[in-house]
Structure 1
Amino acid sequence: MEEIQGLTLRNKFAPGDLGMVASLHGRIYAEEHDLAIGFEAYVMECLVEFFSQYDENKDGVWILEDGPKLVGFMVLMHRPNRMAQLRFLLLEKDYRGRGLGNELMEHWLRFYNEKKYTGAYLYTTSGQDPAVSLYEKYGFSKESTIQSRYYGIPLLETLFRLKT
């Protein structure tokens, strides 16, 4: 475990983490983007996928806590052909604007480089401008976009790839 700005950053799952991460995504995306409970279910499915194939030599997890409260999260998920996917980057509203996203991205990129991945990508949706700025700052660039109604409302989904 490590301390960042008085918060605890850990890299191992504990009982209850998956449910808290899905709940955090569900609540925040409902409040900030009008996404229905289907989005929370989607996040839970993806977390189960991540956990079921989790390999500590290939996958990274960063869980940011303020005492017992989970306030931030992200993962590096291994994919075929030495590719990595950045997933689930999220911070509670009161913890944004303090550089914590930068700290998480730096941890993610260090792990990515240590494990010698050959490429990385992520998907995001419209309305995520602060996150997009963060991704671009750390070398991701937009590759493609598609219109989607996957979560019940019209969204623009964007694929970003890490420039190598």
Structure 2
Amino acid sequence: MASYTLRNQLLPGDLSQVALLHATIYYEEQGFGMGFETYVMESLVEFYRQYDPQQDKVWIVEGNGRIVGFLLLMHRPNFQAQLRYFILDKAYRGLGIGKKLMQEWMDFYREKGYKGAYLYTTSGLDSAAHLYESMGFQKASEKASEDFGVPLYEIRYELY
């Protein structure tokens, strides 16, 4: 079993490692191009610029001296929360880590009293979609897109 640690504090270098993890995994597993990497980098900067540790939280999974997983809750207007950047390196999947991260995300969401939540994902990520649905998220919309260099569906899930 792969050993890992979990922390909730952002450190210098974390955001660039998260962008690299996304770019690498989504290129290797989904064929996503530079448009996806750029999107992740820009939106991580957006997150950091409005980061409020009283309303937002990160979950950073480390293994073998590097970030191997990540998830965050980002506050949005009207007391909504956005689930973003949920990712786990292939070697760390199937160990219950993703479910643990999602449960902790849900606990923080409830603790802070958010009124609703949403996330965006893409077609082809069936395990993640199943996990979201098991936590109460429901598919709200989907649209065809080629923004990331391959044909896919962008899907929005909502939690009420």
- TM-score of Structure 1 vs Structure 2, range by shorter chain: over 0.9
Residue 139 of structure 1: aligned partner: 136
1:161 is aligned to 2:130: no
CA distance in 1, matches of 2:64, 2:8: 15
Query: Which SS does the other structure have where 2:156 is aligned?
Result: strand
Q: Which of residues 49, 52, 56 is equivalent to 1:55?
A: 52
Q: TM-score, normalised by structure 2?
A: 0.96
CA distance in 1, matches of 2:87, 2:153: 19
CA distance in 1, matches of 2:34, 2:144: 20
Unaligned runs of 5+ in 1: none
Q: Which of residues 8, 11, 17 is equivalent to 1:11?
A: 8
Q: Which of residues 91, 116, 120 is equivalent to 2:117?
A: 120
Cα offsets for 1:98-136 (capped at 9, x unmatched): 110000001101110111000000010011101001101
Unaligned runs of 5+ in 2: none
The one-letter code sitting in structure 2 at the alignment partner of 1:21 is: V
1:102 is aligned to 2:99: yes
The one-letter code sitting in structure 2 at the alignment partner of 1:142 is: K
Shift of 1:150: 1.2
Q: How many corresponding residue pairs?
A: 159
Q: Specify which structure has the bigger relative contact order, considering alpha-carbon pairs within 8 angstroms and separated by 6 or more residues.
A: 2
Residue 126 of structure 2: aligned partner: 129
Residue 89 of structure 1: aligned partner: 86
Any conservation in 1 of the 2:58–2:72 contact (CA below 8 Å)?
A: yes
CA distance in 2, matches of 1:38, 1:124: 15
Q: TM-score, normalised by structure 1?
A: 0.94
CA distance in 2, matches of 1:25, 1:81: 29
CA distance in 2, matches of 1:146, 1:154: 11
Any conservation in 1 of the 2:81–2:116 contact (CA below 8 Å)?
A: yes
Shift of 1:6: 4.2
Residue 39 of structure 1: aligned partner: 36
Residue 27 of structure 2: aligned partner: 30
The one-letter code sitting in structure 2 at the alignment partner of 1:136 is: E
Any conservation in 2 of the 1:8–1:67 contact (CA below 8 Å)?
A: no
CA distance in 2, matches of 1:25, 1:38: 12
